Every structure is written in structure tokens, then in C-alpha cells.
Chain A
Amino acid sequence: MLFPTATFALFFMAVLPLSWLLMPRGHRWRPFIVVASFVFYSAWDWRFVFLLAASIAWNHVFAVAIHRRTRPAARKRLLLAAIAGNVALLGYFKYYGFAVTSTNNLFAFVGVDVPLEVRSIVLPVGISFFTFMGISYLVDVFRGDFEPTSLSKFAAYLSFFPHLVAGPIVRPGELIPQLDTPRDPRYVDTSRAFFLIGTGLFMKVVIANHLAASIVDPVFGAPDQHSSLEVLVGIYAYSVQIYADFFGYTNIAIGLALLLGFQFPQNFDAPYTAVSIQDFWRRWHMTLSRWLRDYVYIPLGGNRGGRLLTYRNLMLTMLIGGLWHGAGWTFVAWGAIHGTALVAERWWRERPGFVEHPWTPRRRAWHRFATFQVVCFAWIFFRSDSFADAWDIIVRLFTAWGETSPLVTVGVLAAIAVGIGSQYLPSRIPLRIMAWFSRLPVPAQAAVLGVALLATHAMGPEGVAPFIYFQF
């Protein structure tokens, strides 16, 4: 059940009023929202509802057990067992085939035949997201940051449909306290919610889908058929496509949650305006960055063990981040490029005699440009099916200048300009639009949104492409 579909609109229009009607009675609202979320999830494959239920039960039972134990060693053992369960679940569904083929081919390379059997396993949508949320719940309980909540609240937290299949990765401390008290039906930030949903739909349906069909898929599918200019624009187009796709999804998710009375954390903050890779990771998929920082980088030692250990921890964190996105070596390479860039930046800043210069407009522009190029270079590996494919793109980038470029159209360039330019808009502009919208009478609000739906539906290509991040 994809967000930009009539099926989801009908589903949501049934859930929204019922949710507010049941809201004052938490003991009724929570089962209702869990059932609604399970119905939403079952639209992909009803069998995986049991997997989600098992994940909820597993994490809840272990969180309670960790909380009840007082001996640190016992608590730690339980935590490790609980995390191992989550990792095993993710490993089986997401990395089994990758691990077996990699092992098999490694041994085949040295001439040893390993008769490993590969099973056909269907990847449950959203498993990476709810597994990470389950782990954060366990670790927060272990650290004493958070007391285990009731099963119904935890189930509502983990399965809440706006974030279920592609995030944002909401921390227990951000959502569970909101589940403790009924949301106030008198004060709903509807104008922000509608603004987020509207912009999210436009970015996904119009910008991302248009770029995918018009240039990204053809260029990455067969780079040798395209000119260097098409390849270059195709790479930039992919950087905008993935941003528009994921930013669009996240905006819709945050907006839906707001309409239901819940606040989700921000997931993007104009990432292509970043002046460094470190800055990029403060702005791109922010909830994943925080998760990796708090549950991988810091437990590895963070920056507490000297320069080399810090570099190692940075690199490991980014490699894990890469592998989280997909079971493939190209994702590992994507993580490695970002890890190397982060290490290089850190090394540069920490070298003797380094002086931090003030941010002049020219220096800021140069840093933004350079950071964007590194990010785009890494996207080549993220988008390519194999290293050979990525290499083809890179080679083609330099070897076919001067050939005709029919895919570089005004529409493609305009979509790229909108995708990047929107990140440079001063924040007061959306605030003013939301304030203006909020003061319109209700029928006018409905009319404005209806026209926005017209523009999005008419301008978008036919059909509904799935969100890129659903595969992760």
C-alpha cells in the first residue's frame, strides 16, 4: 500500500477519524492503531505480519527481562542475546544470499568447491527499519535511558504505520512518551502536515519519478549508449532522484503522523547544501545518522581512543551504514567512500598548524560544490548493480564528450534545478506559506490542496513507482 495511491487514501481516511475518536481511551486506541498498522503492512505480504509480531514480542520480552535484572553481567548477556536475535532476523532475510554467494565465490576463486545451498528468500519490506528501532529500544532500556513500556504501547511504537516501511527511524524516547498521553484534538498542526504531505507527493511523484524514467534508468542501464554529458547529468539526476524520493516519502510520513497528532523527528535538512561530508551526514537521513552514531560509533569507542581508533570507528560505522542499505559490495563501497571522506576531513582538521578560516561566501560555495561532487561520486556505486557497472559509468563520463545528448532535456534540467534549488530556499518561505495556508477558511484549504493534487497527479508519469528506500 504505497502512500501516493487511492487505496492508501481510502485507508487513511478511515483511520484518521477513528483514531481521533478513540484517542481519549488509550486502551482502545493502541489496539486499534496496531491493527491498522498490521493491515497496512499486510498489503505487501500478509505472511510478514507474523514476522513483525514476532519482532515486537521478542524485543518486548527481552527489554522487560533486561530491566528486571540487576546484575550488570546478566543484563549484558540478555542484551547481546536480544540484539543477536534481531541481527539474525535481518541477516537471514537480507544478507543470507549475499553471504552464501560471497563465500562460495571466494572459495571458487581459490579453486575450492563449497556446495553451499542458496534458498530463495523474499525480503520483507521495512525490516531494516523496524529491526533498528527494536535494537534502539533494547539498548535504551539497557542503558537506563528508558523504562520498558507496556506491550501494547511498544507494539504501537514499532508498528506505527507512518514510519513502518521506510522510517524515519524514531527513537523510543521520541514516540513512546507521546503514546502515554492522548494527543490534544484541539491543537493539530494541520498546515504543516498538509504542507509536508503536499511537497512530499510532488517531490516523489513529479521530480523523482520523472528523473528516473527520463534519464537515470536509461543511463545507468546502458551507459555505453549515452554521451558523457548524459552520463554526467544522469549522475546528478540520480542524486536528486534519491533525495526527492526519500525526502518525499519522509515528508509524507511525518505529515501523516502529524495529522494523527504525533511528532516525528526531522530526517533531512537540505543535504546538498552541506559544506563537508560530516555536515552532509548531519543533514541526510538524519535519523539513521543518529542511530549509527549512538548505537555503533560510540559503542565502538567513538573518538575516545586516539586518532587511529577514531578513524577505524568512523570507517566501520560507515561500512555498516553502507551494508545496512543493501546486501551488496557496491553498498559497502558507497559506505567506504563516505568513511574515507570523513576520515580525510578529520585528519585535515586535526593536522598540526590547521587554522579554521572564516566562512566567506566564496569558500562556502566551493566547499558545497566539492562536497556535492564527492556525494555524487559515491551515488554511482550506490545505484550500480556491480563494480563493473559503476566502472562503465565512470569511464563513460570521460570518453564520450561531443556526442549528441537527447536525454538532457529542459524537463530533466528543470527537475534537477527544483530538486537542488529547493534546498537553498530560506526557511522563512515555507513558514510563511504554512502560516498563510493555516489562516484560510476550511473550504479554501481543501480547494488549495485539491489543486495541488491536480498538479501532482497530472504532471507525474503514469503508474506509481515504489519508493527506493522500500528495498532497504
Chain B
Amino acid sequence: METDRQTRRQRPRERVGEGGRRLHSAGSAVVVSLGALLVGAFLNAPGIHKSAHIQSEGWKRDVALAVTGPLDSVSGALLLDEPRRGLKAVLGRSDDDEIDTAVALPESPPPGNPGAEPQPPSPPPTRTKFTPKKQLRLWIAGDSLVVVPGESLLRAAAANRAIQRGAEIDGRIASGLERPDVFNWFDRIREVMRKERPQAVVVMFGGNDDHGFMTGLPEGVQIGSFGSSSWVAEYRRRVAGVMDTISRRGGFLVWIGLPITRDAEQTRRYDTINAIVSSEAAVRPGRVAYLDTYFFFAGDDGGYAEYVTDSSGKLVKMRAGDGVHFERAAGDLIAGKVLAELEKRYDLTSWRKR
């Protein structure tokens, strides 16, 4: 028995597995894993650094930046990031790793003569008519919250031949107006308005903006915590800038307000954002419409409700399990209201009556 054991110890079984592959030690597994992660980290350094940069504010982001900053510098100095840049260029996505914090907003109208009477707001534009031959171009954009209502809107719009087909939803997860480094909506909106010239724009922003951390602040500007007067002033400037970028290019904007959420504290923060958006929309009549969604999704007690009885008496699930996002029924409800707003501004249906 003892001899058997000794023999086994002296002659370990062959370290070969199925297909003739060599088996390795656990130590080798650890070393290869660690080595692979290190090599991968240096080769992917620009992307990893950007991922660290766009994290939510906090100690995790600070630590991640402290690690990935030098990693990115070393990778760049040793040209280890070149293969990634080359691959991105081949894929046509050279901008992926750029950290863009520029907030480009339209310039404010020049101030009038001091002491002069304030100018009355310009009259609302006329109600333009669209037909199957002269179709309305629609663009839907925003954070992840816009996706479900956007899908419902596209479904509803498909029934109206006065609205151009083929629109897609520009929904970017985790984005908003606070963090152009996550996704630069200011650039994107300008680009779309210039190139595609949509006449109707439906947006939903703010779902990820309920924090006191903004990037792209003007030089010398510092902001306080979420909801402070400096935060409100800067956020208002961005909201107003988005509205003006769209309306000056001839687009009618429907801004969908943030809904009530399961978390009461989050709902209060959303209220702050909604107040800013609705007040900015109010001073742009005929050009911007604010759609208040708060009470669409409140229960009988006025609080958050995941299930709501619809007009036909059916109990339907309105909200996703996370207590924030929408289900299809909610999207359909919002889409109906958005179409009604568009119909107020544009004539989309009279062509049918002929």
C-alpha cells in the first residue's frame, strides 16, 4: 500500500487532457489570468480610462481615475494603445475613446438697450401642414427612459403617412445633460439638427441628472450640490441651450417630463429637474411643449404605482421592475400625448379628409 502511494508520488499522471492539450497548475492559471488582464489593460488603456472617467461621482471613480490615468499615460508613451486606435479607426469609431466635456450652446440673443422695454415674445409659428408627399421628419432622443415611449411613438406614427418612416430612437444609456463626457448631447443635437433637420423633436432627459456633479462647466464656474442655486442655474442654462438649439433650427420640441418613481427621494429630485424644464418650456410657446407625465403613473393615492387600471378597466403593468423605467402600456400612453402635442403644432391629419 505504502509502495503504491510512493510510486504514485514519484510518477504523476501525464498532464495531458482531451485533444492533447497540456494541463497546467493552479499557479499557472493565476499568473496567466493576471498577466492577461495586465496586457489587456495596457492595450485597452484609453477605453478603460474613459470608462473610469464616466463613472458616477464618488470614491470608486476617484480610485479608478487614479489607476487608469497613469495606465493610459504609460500605454500612450509606449505606443501600446496604437493597435486599439487602429482597430477603432477601421471600425469607423475613432471618437469612442475621446473624453469630450465641451458644452456648446447657442449664444444668447444680444442684450437690448439698457432701459428699453423688454421685447414681447415672438408669436407662435403657424400650424404647418404635412401630407404623405410632404412628410414630417421626426427625431426621438434622450436617455434610456425615452426608449419605450419612443418605440410606442414610432408604432403610432407608422399609422400616419404624413410622418416620415425610418426614424430611429437615439436612446443613450446613462446619459444626460450633466455629463457630456458620458455622451455629448449638445454636439449630437447640433449635428442632427444641422444634417437631418427634423421638424419635430421628442426628447426625454434628466433621468441620470439627479446628482450634484457636472462636467463641462464654463471656466471659473463651480456648482454646489444638487438643487442648489448654482446647480439650478447651470442646469437651466443647459436645458435652455438644448431648447434653443432645436427651435432655432426650426424644430418643434416636445420634452417629456420625468415620471414619479418608486423611490420618493428620487421623485423629489426629479421634481426639481421637471420644474426647470417646464419653466423653460413655458417661455418658448409654440416652439417647445413640456409634457408632464407625473400623474399618468400615480396610483389612486397619488403615489407610485407599478400597475394602473387603464381606460378600458384593465389592470396593466406600467412600470418596469426597477421602479423608474416604463413598460409598453406606459409608452403607449405617453406616445398618445406626444402625438396630441405634435398635432397642436402641425397639421398631420387633414390630408386624410380629402
Contacts and interface: CB of A to CB of B under 8 A. Distances in A.
A447 B83 CA distance: 14
Interface stretch (A187-195, A280-288, A297-305, A373-381): A187-195
B124 interface: no
A20, A443, A457: which has the most chain B beta carbons within 10 Å? A457
A32 to B, nearest CB: 15
A218 B169 contact: yes
Contact of A222 (B22, B29, B91, B151): B151
6 contacts: A105-B314, A120-B262, A221-B147, A450-B35, A454-B83, A463-B174
B17, B173, B321: which has the most chain A beta carbons within 10 Å? B17
Contact of B36 (A116, A221, A453): A453
A101 B307 contact: yes
Nearest to B307: A118
Interface string B48-59: 100100000000
Nearest to B323: A120
A97 B21 CA distance: 51
A222 B317 contact: no
B320 to A, nearest CB: 10
Interface stretch (B39-47, B104-112, B279-287): B39-47
Contacts of B88: 458
A16 B40 contact: no
A442 interface: yes
B275 interface: no
B302 interface: no
Interface in B216-234: none
A122 B321 contact: yes
Given A454-B84, A458-B47, A108 B306 contact: no
A234 B123 CA distance: 46
Interface in A1-21: 6, 9, 12-13, 16-17, 20
B328 A225 contact: no
Contacts of A108: 313-315
A394 interface: no
Contacts of A17: 30
B24 A438 contact: yes
A349 B333 CA distance: 50
Given A118-B307, A120-B323, A442-B31, A261 B39 contact: no
A449 interface: yes
B87 interface: yes
Nearest to B312: A108
B26 A191 contact: no
B166 interface: yes
A53 interface: no
A105 B150 CA distance: 27
A101 B316 contact: yes
A190 B317 CA distance: 47
A218 B168 contact: yes
B170 to A, nearest CB: 11
B147 A259 contact: no
Given A454-B43, A457-B47, A442 B316 contact: no
A443 B44 contact: no
Interface residues of B, number: 71
A210 B20 CA distance: 35
B154 A446 contact: no
Interface string B317-333: 10101110001100000
Contacts of B321: 121-123
B26 A463 contact: no
Nearest to B167: A225
B35 A438 contact: no
A116 to B, nearest CB: 8
Interface string B106-132: 000000000000000000000000000
B4 interface: no
Chief secondary structure at chain A's binding surface: helix
B37 A13 contact: yes
A188 B37 contact: no
Interface string A103-122: 01100100001001010111
B74 interface: no
A224 B37 contact: no
B25 interface: yes
A25 B317 CA distance: 50
A450 B39 contact: yes
B315 A446 contact: no
Nearest to A447: B39
Contacts of B79: none
Nearest to A445: B32
A453 B317 contact: no
A16 B24 contact: no
A190 B29 contact: yes
B307 A457 contact: no
B26, B88, B314: which has the most chain A beta carbons within 10 Å? B26
Nearest to B165: A225
Contact of A188 (B29, B158, B313): B29
B340 interface: no
A190 B174 CA distance: 37
A442 B88 CA distance: 29
A120 B166 contact: no
A447 B37 CA distance: 9
B146 to A, nearest CB: 11
Contacts of B327: 385
Given A185-B26, A185-B27, A458-B88, A259 B154 contact: no
A396 B303 CA distance: 39
A70 to B, nearest CB: 38
Given A221-B147, A450-B38, A97 B18 contact: no
Interface stretch (A135-143, A149-157, A243-251, A429-437): A429-437
B51 to A, nearest CB: 7
B34 A97 contact: no
A181 interface: no
Contacts of A116: 315
